[in-house]
Amino acid sequence: MSYILNIDTSTTLCSVAISKNGEIVCSKEINEGYSHTENLHVFINDLLIQEKLMPSKLSAVAIGSGPGSYTGLRIGVSAAKGLAFALNIPLIAINSLQIMVQSVIEKTSINTLLCPMLDARRMEVYCAIFDKNLSFVKDTSAQMITEENLDFFKTGKEICFFGDGMQKCQSILENIPGSSFIENIYPSAKALSALSFKKFTEKQFENVAYFEPFYLKDFMIGAK
């Protein structure tokens, strides 16, 4: 019996779930801005108490590795690494865009290419293109969305866009033939659960000491 603690803080959604053999047994999340510092450890503790589960019974901890918010990723990964080290259990990491695709697959029967998008400020997004089997068609990248810069998304096939990055540029993306859109999709620990169990069974673990979030771009500090 494998209990995995799943965490994602790569966006404004602070999301935690405990799964048993890949099935969610409990979850807790909130989307009220970047409140991860205040809520993450509280949520973890609440779920362990709710399930009467001692931390020592956890088999692994899984984290949405990014891309996404620099601060959110740093908080989530620090917590996951700390727990993995303290409990001497494996650390599992999943691309946050892939978690979003898993969420769409679980919620819909859509049969197109899938393009998760996370807001990267201004008109830039973090994105990738997947098929319905969760395989990369185009790798994770940062794309500036303009009417003149849509070649990355032109695949000759129908494509569905989702995520908070999609919302700000939907009017431009609508110019792509065969495009469709789904709202309110975030990287969630609930969708992470199925993916983390697969990696757990295949023993695809991270080096706890050296693992870093997938920031994709260097952190930039704005001038005061």
Q: Do both 22 and 51 map to the same domain?
A: yes
What global pTM score does this model have? 0.93
Residues of the chain with pLDDT under 50: 219-224
Q: Are residues 103 and 87 in the same domain?
A: no
What integer pLDDT is reported at residue 222 of this predicted model?
Answer: 41
> What is the number of domains present in the chain?
2
Q: Identify whether 215 is part of a domain.
A: no
Among residues 198, 199, 154, the alpha carbon closest in space to that of 178 is found at 154
Q: What confidence score (pLDDT) does residue 98 get?
A: 97
* Same domain assignment for residues 157 and 193: no
pLDDT for position 218: 57
Which are the contacts of 201, defined by CB distance < 8 A and separation ≥ 6? Answer: none
Q: Percentage helix, strand, coil, to 5, in the chain?
A: 35, 30, 40
CATH code, domain with 173: 3.30.420.40
Cis peptide before 213 (omega within 30 of 0): no
> Quick one: 43 and 150 in the same domain?
no
User: Based on the domain organization, do 52 and 14 belong to the same domain?
Assistant: yes
7, 80: one domain: yes
Beta bridge partners of 35: none
Does residue 68 sit in the same domain as residue 178? no
**Is 224 within the bounds of a domain?**
no
Report if residue 208 sits inside a domain.
no
Domain around 22: 3-96+186-201
Residues 160 and 103 sit within 8 Å (Cβ to Cβ):
no
